[in-house]
Every structure is written in structure tokens, then in C-alpha cells.
């Protein structure tokens, strides 16, 4: 017990770029910037009390995540979504998860099943006493597990990108989850299909589950933005 550094977590040297990116992301998800609005590098730099360089890089990072768009010599603007684009995102997400479930059905281990069951329980818990944001996050976490357990890491990366965009739109809508418990329960058939190693049943359960969400969210988004 002399000079061992055992037990110390490596302090993460979070540079300004990531900090700014996180703060910007949070602000965007909280809806503090209207879609399409111009974001001035100089203004943001002043607000954050830093120079423009890290702000630029953070903005570029958010651009690559599809939350901002840039025009040469004009700067960065908050990404605007229309309902069709959101529909595309859901469509693609379903495509990915169907594939993940197909893969997963053939290789589900006991650990994976336990993790998914546990996550389902967490979802039910936050459905009782959790915020809407928590409910969304735990929901996403379940679906992310499906992707992770599929074994295709590249698929997970795309899923994460899509989730960023879905979160962005969902938070733009405002309230959601009128009945979080019912939503949580509709994940059960997916897990059940996996337990029986049935890819077809898994796909069907997913089709239903995500299809419902897609219809609701896109519809609400369309009303909220068009009307």
C-alpha cells in the first residue's frame, strides 16, 4: 500500500471542444434554439467565455451528427427537420433493428437475456416514477442493447446517430409518452421472441412496436411543425 495508484479512475481530460459540444447539444435538446436559427461563433464564444476555435470545432462535431448545418461564409444553423425526414429516420432505424434482432436471435446468451430483462424492468420503474426524458432514455437503452448484442459495432454507431436525431425531434414535439407503462410492456414480445430464438417473430414484434411509435411521433411532429 505504498505508492500504488490502484483504484484511481483516470481523470478524463475533457477538452473544451467536448464540453462545448455537450452544452450545445443539451441546449439544442432543450429547445433553446429554434430550428433554422443562425448560431454565431463569436456570440457563442463570448457566452462560453472561450475563443472561437473550440466553438468552431464543437459546431463541426454537431454538424457531423446532423444537428447543425453549415453554409460557407454564413456559418452554422440549427438543423431543420421536416416530417418526411423524421419518417426516413424511423424507417432506417427499423431496418437496423430488424437486422439486429435477426442476428441476435441466433446467438442470444443468458447474460444478454438477463441484461435485456433487467433493462425492461428499469423501463417499467421509470414508467411509474420517472421523467419523460428518463423514460425516453431507458427506452433507447433497450433498443441500443439489441444493436450491441447483435455484434455489429458499425450498426451500433449508425443507431446512435439516428437516436440523436430522434431525440432532437421528440424533444421538439414537447410531451410524449401518455402511457409509458404500456409502451414499456410492448417491448416484452420482442424479448419473448428472442427467448424462443425466433427471428421472424422478433421482426414482427419490432415491426409492430416501432411502427406504432413511428406513426405517433411523425404524426405529432407533422402537426407541430406544419400546423
Partner DNA sequence: AATTTTCAAACTGTCGACACTCGACAGTCG
Partner DNA sequence: CGACTGTCGAGTGTCGACAGTTTGAAAATT
Interface contacts to a copy of itself, rule CB under 8 A: 13, 15, 53, 56-57, 60-61, 64, 72-73, 85, 88-89, 91-92, 95-96, 99, 152-155, 158, 162
Task: Please tell me the distance from the alpha carbon of residue 195 to that of residue 189, in angstroms, as a whole number.
Answer: 10
Judged by CB under 7 A, the residue of 7, 72, 106, 227 near DNA is 72
**What is the x/- site pattern for DNA, positions 76-95, by CB under 7 A?**
x-------------------
Nearest-approach distance from CB 67 to DNA, in angstroms: 16
For residues 40 and 117, which CB has a smaller minimum distance to DNA in the complex? 40
Helix axes 132-150 and 83-105, enclosed angle (nearest 10) = 50
Strand partners, 71: 75
Q: Is 70 among the residues that bind DNA (CB under 7 A)?
A: yes
Nearest-approach distance from CB 77 to DNA, in angstroms: 9
Closest CA relative to residue 63, chosen from 51, 75, 73, 49: 75
Which of a copy of itself, DNA, none does residue 75 bind (CB under 5 to 8 Å by kind)? DNA
Closest CA relative to residue 90, chosen from 219, 205, 218, 202: 218
Strand order in the sheet with 68-71: 38-39, 75-78, 68-71
Cβ contacts of residue 182 below 8 Å, gap of 6+? none
**What is the x/- site pattern for DNA, positions 6-25, by CB under 7 A?**
-------x-xxx--------
Task: Please tell me the distance from the alpha carbon of residue 95 to that of residue 150, in angstroms, as a whole number.
Answer: 13
The residues that touch DNA, with contacts defined as CB under 7 A, are 13, 15-17, 38-43, 50-54, 56, 70, 72-76
Amino acid at each position: 500500500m505504498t505508492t500504488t495508484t490502484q483504484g484511481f479512475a483516470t481523470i478524463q481530460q475533457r477538452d473544451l471542444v467536448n464540453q462545448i459540444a455537450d452544452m450545445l447539444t443539451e441546449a439544442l435538446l432543450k429547445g433553446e434554439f429554434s430550428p433554422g436559427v443562425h448560431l454565431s461563433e463569436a456570440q457563442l464564444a463570448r457566452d462560453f467565455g472561450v475563443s472561437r476555435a473550440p466553438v468552431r470545432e464543437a459546431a463541426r462535431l454537431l454538424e457531423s451528427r446532423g444537428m447543425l448545418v453549415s453554409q460557407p461564409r454564413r456559418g452554422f444553423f440549427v438543423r431543420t427537420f421536416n416530417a418526411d425526414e423524421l419518417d426516413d429516420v424511423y424507417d432506417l432505424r427499423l431496418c437496423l433493428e430488424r437486422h439486429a434482432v435477426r442476428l441476435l436471435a441466433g446467438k442470444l446468451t443468458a447474460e444478454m437475456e438477463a441484461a435485456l430483462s433487467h433493462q425492461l424492468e428499469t423501463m417499467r420503474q421509470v414508467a411509474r416514477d420517472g421523467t419523460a426524458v428518463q423514460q425516453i432514455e431507458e427506452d433507447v437503452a433497450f433498443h441500443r442493447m439489441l444493436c450491441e448484442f447483435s455484434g455489429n459495432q458499425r450498426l451500433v454507431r449508425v443507431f446512435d446517430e439516428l437516436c440523436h436525431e430522434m431525440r432532437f425531434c421528440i424533444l421538439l414535439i414537447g410531451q410524449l409518452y401518455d402511457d409509458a407503462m404500456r409502451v414499456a410492456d410492448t417491448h416484452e414480445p420482442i424479448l419473448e421472441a428472442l427467448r424462443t430464438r425466433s427471428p421472424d417473430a422478433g421482426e414482427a414484434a419490432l415491426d409492430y412496436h416501432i411502427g406504432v411509435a413511428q406513426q405517433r411521433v411523425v404524426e405529432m411532429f407533422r402537426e407541430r411543425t406544419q400546423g
